[in-house]
A and B are shown apart, each in its own frame.
Chain A
């Protein structure tokens, strides 16, 4: 057991190292700004807890073992009553009982607490913790992480080696945990180095992977604990609930092949482990990984530039081909990190929005003015999301001395990279400078232009002048950009007064509408009048013909009847009268009165309703019903 005490102290040493490295990790978290260090700190915290639990388990187990040996010795040497030293006496303060309590309560309690911490922290990271911050002094942090990985590698190997014996089986948990911290530290360090060399955020993915593994381990521990309740190996499983089976898969690599072979044997009833000589397979694991890493590293000597790209090879930061950028296609270089490639989309047209960006969410200008913290005023904050430009408003006024107007412009400018060296190495952000230069030109040009003119007739000239000035300025500044096209599609009055401008347009339309309606009315009136006049003319012509025709027919009738009349005038007249009566009295009412009567006669000539009228009304009512 002397050896046991020595190894017990190794646990204490591991805990001290864990505390020290955890402290340094937290310091590096603040110094580099990387959340990765905090994440590794959580792993270390859980590992400290695990070492503590194992330390207590081992210590009490040893105490119980010694106590049992002592009891057995006394029992063997005493021939009298042995009840004092019998296990049956149930001494509540015995080491054996303490060991039993530890085994029963401490391990599950630690497992649950550790699992909850792991899951909660993992969830916190995935719900928005900032893992993407670029590191400050990343190489310092990476160096420490690599060193830390090396340190924990030694501890892990030591403990896993010990755990192969039955006495130190419980060291397997801390061994796996330290091995996992070793791998995660190494991976994180490598990711930070890659970020430093390539400016691609490898550390962000490392952060997500680290947080994902943390959550996975927490979930695994809880599941093992739950399943252990129903398992026949309950005591064993609870006792090792904090040991991650998943982590052991990657921290004890020489077991991979064995595990795979065992799985295949179990599933298919084969005996692969013996047939393929498991030892050979196990020995190949590390060389395969090493070979893969070397091949991947050598693959970094080949790179491809896309059809729209050109690039530079940088060796230790210095471009090898500053005057002749590499064109699209396959190229060779020294392996990373000796040579790195800087790619630029030089053949693709890029659009820089000057003024305001129409793709951005529309914001109420007044509200934006109030909310923009970058604007300083003597009274209130002020800023316009539309970013209106001052334009000339015409004659003087009392307010400003000059009448000013405001106008919003979105000027999308299409540019091409023409000088890769200037674009890459002369300026940090050429597009930003380009946009500011363009905005300055717009400001100067608009200062003397009329608001309405810019909106309408002067737009073409205005655009030409802007294009000429911008080309000149960009060339002079050596931005490495060439202006391909300038669009002036988004010129409009500021949104606060846009309605008033729209009202003018509406009024113009209304004016046109009024005129067109009057013209339509005019056309209608004229056509109706023409038709009416034509009717009158036609009627007049008809009347004329009728009058002539009637006169003619009357004259003819007169001529025809004059002869008979001359022969017997009275008879003709009498017959004519009788004809009139005969024809006229057919449909008229006739009253005959006695020519000799002396009385006064009264006639009621009131029209009486006809029977058909009543019948007709009834029919209509029936139809209505």
Chain B
């Protein structure tokens, strides 16, 4: 009996706790709440803390994150003033400023993102159509008007978002710009041609430089050989001149000198492959002939 009593009491306490929880709403720092009574918004809570409410289905608390959050719009195509297609992506920072209006007209973060995207896209198209393409990309930094475009878009949608949806937009930025697929392909083709042309230039420069270096090397080689040949000729000439001094000795008996030269020439010319045909009248073989007689 005692044990059952404990069970009953503890069960009742737990049930009581959770019933009590239905009578309160906690609004955290950075949140806002709208209390609806039988579906009708009756109270806005902007300060964090613990608040009383009647349990569902009498009262219901709709909590919204009131902190600044970021939404990024579609990267959508638009026209510039000079008729160029351009892709512009936007981001916007926003927060719930009027919770009741936000609950009634938007209801959820996803829906808020969708509505803001529509609003921003429309304003972006309008603003971009007032600028030429050169305001987006230009060699002159002062001519790039992206900051002015952001300010104009923000100015154009700030009041409308607050008025229509209870959303306060604090900033708009252009984090992405681009050109459509077809044009991108054109740009890619141009970049490729430009790069290929540059590559060919570098290759040609290389070949040209190599040819020059080779030419210079060949010329230098020829020069070196020519110098060496000339030196060789000079050396031989000098040698001949020096040798001529010794030849003066031969003047003592030119005939004998010639004879000696002849003998040495014959000696030098005879080798294994020489064939000599001599008459038996020639010395010393004439001796053989005399004996046979």
Contacts and interface: CB of A to CB of B under 8 A. Distances in A.
Interface of A: 137, 139-140, 142-143, 146-147, 150, 153, 157, 186, 189, 193, 254, 283, 286, 290, 314, 316-319, 322, 369, 374-380, 382-384, 387-394, 397, 399-406, 424-429, 432-433, 436-437, 439-440, 442-444, 447-448, 450-451, 477, 493-494, 496-497, 500-501, 503-504, 506-508, 510-515, 517-519, 521-523, 525-526, 528-530, 532-537, 539-541, 543-548, 550-552, 554-555, 557-559, 561-562, 565-566, 569, 573-574, 576-581, 583-585, 587-595, 603, 605
A554 B246 contact: yes
Interface of B: 3-4, 6-7, 10-11, 14-15, 18-19, 21-22, 26-31, 47-50, 55-56, 65, 67-70, 72, 74-77, 82, 84-85, 87, 91, 93, 132-134, 136-141, 143-144, 146-147, 150, 171, 173-184, 186-188, 190-192, 194-196, 198-203, 205-207, 209-214, 216-218, 220-222, 224-225, 227-229, 231-236, 238-240, 242-247, 249-250, 252-253, 256-257, 259-261, 263, 266-267, 270-285, 288-289
Contact of B93 (A433, A450, A559): A433
A-B pairs, top 9 by smallest CB distance, nearest first, are A540-B232, A511-B206, A551-B243, A544-B239, A533-B228, A522-B217, A317-B28, A518-B210, A514-B206
Nearest to A515: B209
Nearest to A524: B217
Given A427-B68, A513-B206, A534-B228, A576 B281 contact: no
A404 B75 contact: no
Of A442, A451, A511, most buried by chain B (CB within 10 Å of CB) is: A511
Given A314-B29, A591-B277, A592-B285, A536 B202 contact: no
Nearest to A530: B224
A506 B150 CA distance: 42
Nearest to B243: A551
B187 A405 contact: yes
A540 B202 contact: no
A451 B206 CA distance: 25
Contact of A522 (B216, B250, B256): B216
A547 B236 contact: yes
Given A316-B48, A319-B29, A443-B174, A519 B213 contact: yes
Given A518-B217, A533-B228, A543-B236, 11 more contacts: A402-B133, A428-B30, A510-B203, A511-B205, A526-B224, A540-B236, A547-B242, A558-B249, A584-B270, A592-B279, A603-B277
B75 A383 contact: yes
A530 B223 CA distance: 10
A146 B187 CA distance: 65
Given A376-B76, A545-B239, A555-B250, A594 B209 contact: no
Contacts of B15: 146-147, 150
A319 B49 CA distance: 9
A526 B284 contact: no
A390 B177 contact: yes
A551 B3 CA distance: 144
Contact of B74 (A140, A186, A376): A376
Nearest to A283: B3
Contacts of B202: 504, 507-508, 510-511
Contact of B11 (A153, A585, A594): A153
B284 A581 contact: yes
Nearest to B182: A379
B282 to A, nearest CB: 8
Contacts of A402: 133-134, 137-139
Given A406-B184, A593-B280, A429 B220 contact: no
Contacts of B273: 588
Contact of A382 (B181, B266, B272): B181
Contacts, number: 431
A369 B21 CA distance: 50
Given A401-B132, A425-B30, A525 B274 contact: no
Given A387-B176, A529-B220, A565-B253, A504 B198 contact: yes
A172 B273 CA distance: 131
B267 A583 contact: yes
Contact of B138 (A317, A448, A514): A448
B70 A432 contact: yes
B82 A401 contact: yes
Contact of B232 (A406, A537, A546, A589): A537
A317 B199 contact: no
Given A515-B210, A590-B278, A548 B243 contact: yes
Contacts of A557: 260
Contacts of B49: 316-318
B18 A533 contact: no
Contact of B177 (A318, A322, A389, A578): A389
Contacts of A576: 259-260, 263
A447 B137 contact: yes
Contacts of A548: 239, 242-243, 246
Contacts of A513: 206
B68 to A, nearest CB: 5
Contacts of A380: 181
A506 B200 CA distance: 10
B227 A317 contact: no
A120 to B, nearest CB: 33
A392 B177 CA distance: 12
A283 B284 CA distance: 154
Contact of B67 (A150, A375, A426): A426
18 contacts: A142-B18, A393-B187, A393-B191, A400-B84, A400-B187, A425-B29, A439-B175, A443-B177, A510-B202, A511-B205, A529-B220, A529-B222, A536-B229, A537-B231, A547-B240, A577-B263, A592-B277, A595-B282
B225 A533 contact: yes
Contacts of A518: 209-214, 217
A497 B184 CA distance: 11
B187 A399 contact: yes
A574 to B, nearest CB: 7
Contacts of B184: 382, 406
A448 B134 CA distance: 10
A400 B183 contact: yes
A198 B144 CA distance: 48
B75 A375 contact: yes
B27 A317 contact: yes
Contacts of A157: 4, 7
A319 to B, nearest CB: 5
A525 B217 contact: yes
Contacts of B222: 529
Nearest to B261: A554
Contact of A591 (B11, B175, B275): B275
Contacts of B19: 143
A584 B239 contact: no
Nearest to B109: A428
Of B56, B227, B235, B276, most buried by chain A (CB within 10 Å of CB) is: B235
A358 to B, nearest CB: 19
B84 A401 contact: yes
A501 B70 CA distance: 36
Contacts of A580: 263, 266-267, 270
B146 A589 contact: no
A594 B76 contact: no
Nearest to A548: B242
B192 A497 contact: yes
A150 B11 contact: yes
B48 A318 contact: yes
Given A318-B29, A399-B183, A557-B260, A529 B274 contact: no
Contacts of A500: 191-192, 194-196, 199
B235 A543 contact: yes
Contacts of A369: 181
A427 B94 CA distance: 10
A425 to B, nearest CB: 4
Nearest to A534: B228
A534 B228 CA distance: 7
Given A540-B235, A565-B256, A594-B279, A384 B77 contact: no
